[in-house]
Amino acid sequence: MWFPQKDAKDFLNRSLTLPASGFEQDWEIELADATRVSEFVIFLKKSRLKHIYEEALVSLILASFEDAIWRESFDDEVWNDFLLYILSDRNRFNDVIFPWLADGNTDFAISDRLRQYFS
């Protein structure tokens, strides 16, 4: 099972000025921010990140999109921009995306959107 590595979380906490305490159990869920999802996607696309940093950022972005759905602030244009990026190398992010896809998963509002492209 995939999870963000400490080095990646520390890097992203600093780079994105995330309000992390260092005691997060589900880092990407606890630090998800629907108001910053566009900023996160731009950072993903413009930065040349190590693979582990990129995976952790994708997980944070997915959790932030999940948050946006629940807050009714989902932005289809930002979603499509993000999708283009991750679909360009879809196998690279399979381990990160898989937990959001689980069949019959009713806990995540974003699952159906992801299943359209990953199955």
Tens-digit pLDDT profile for residues 70-106 = 999 999 999 999 999 999 998 999 999 998 987 665 6
Task: For residues 42 and 31, give the distance between their C-alpha atoms in angstroms, rounded to a whole number.
Answer: 17
Within a domain: 90: yes
- CA atoms of 29 and 34, how far apart (whole Å): 11
Residue 91 in domain: yes
Q: Across residues 2-9, what is the average pLDDT?
A: 95
Please give the residue range of the domain that contains residue 87. Answer: 6-11+29-115
Report the predicted TM-score, pTM, of the whole model to 2 decimal places.
Answer: 0.95
pLDDT digits (tens, 9 = 90+) for 21-74: 999 999 999 999 999 999 999 999 999 999 999 999 999 999 999 999 999 999
pLDDT band at 12 (very low <50, low <70, confident <90, very high): very high
Provide CB contacts within 8 A for 63, sequence distance 6+. Answer: 28, 29, 31, 32
Domain membership of residue 18 (yes or no) is: no
